[in-house]
Amino acid sequence: MTLAHWLYVLGVLVVVLTMILRRNVVIPCIVFTFLIGLVYTGNLITAVQAVFNASLVAAKELFGIFLIISLMVAMLKSISATGGDELLVKPMSKLMVSPLVSYIVVCVATVIISLFFWPTPAVPLIGALLVPAAVRAGLPPMLGAVALALAGQAMTLAGDVIIQGAPGLTAASAGVATELVTWKGGLLTLIAGAVAIPLGYILNREDIRNFQHQKAETAATAEMSLPVGQAEEKKVDLTKGKFLVYLLIAAMIGVVVSMFGFDIKGGDASALLGGVALLIMLVATVTIDGIGGFDKMADYVADGLVFAFKVMGPIIPIAGFFFLGNPEVVVNILGDGAPGFLFDVGEMVAKVIPPTGFMAAFGLLILGAITGLDGSGFSGLPVVGTLAGAMASGDANVAATLGSLGQLGAIWVGGGALVAWSSLVAVAGIVGVPVLDLVRKNTIPVIAGLVVATIFAVLFMM
Which pLDDT tens digits describe the chain residue by residue (462 residues)? 789 889 988 988 888 788 677 677 889 999 999 999 999 988 999 999 999 999 998 888 778 777 877 887 788 788 877 777 667 666 766 788 889 999 999 999 889 888 877 776 667 667 766 887 788 788 999 999 999 999 988 999 999 888 788 898 899 888 899 999 999 999 999 999 999 999 999 999 999 988 887 765 544 444 443 333 343 345 555 677 788 888 888 887 887 788 777 877 656 777 887 888 899 889 888 888 888 888 888 888 888 888 778 766 777 888 788 788 777 788 888 888 888 787 677 667 656 777 788 989 998 998 888 777 656 678 778 888 888 988 887 889 999 999 999 999 999 988 778 877 677 877 887 787 888 788 889 999 999 999 999 999 999 998
Which pLDDT does position 12 carry in this prediction?
A: 82
Which pLDDT does position 341 carry in this prediction?
A: 80
CB-side neighbour CA atoms (13 Å) of 345: 20
Contacts 24+ apart (CB under 8 A), 132-135: 132/219, 132/222, 132/223, 132/224, 133/93, 133/96, 133/102, 134/96, 134/99, 134/102, 134/103, 134/105, 134/106, 135/215, 135/218, 135/219, 135/222
CA-closest candidate to residue 222, choices 152, 148, 137: 137
Which pLDDT does position 228 carry in this prediction?
A: 33
Burial grade of 295 (CB within 10 A; 0-12, 13-18, 19 or more): exposed
Which pLDDT does position 449 carry in this prediction?
A: 97
pTM, rounded to two decimals: 0.69
Which pLDDT does position 226 carry in this prediction?
A: 36
Quickly list H helices, 118-177: 119-129, 131-136, 141-148, 157-159, 165-174
How far is CA 307 from each of CA 190, 222, 266, 300, 429, rounded to the nearest angstrom? 27, 29, 23, 11, 20
Which pLDDT does position 52 carry in this prediction?
A: 94
Residue-wise burial string across 203-236, b where 16 or more C-beta atoms lie within 10 A, e elsewhere: ebeeebeebeeebeebbeebebebeeeeeeebee
Say if residues 430 and 415 touch (Cβ distance below 8 Å): no
Which pLDDT does position 458 carry in this prediction?
A: 94
Which pLDDT does position 230 carry in this prediction?
A: 40
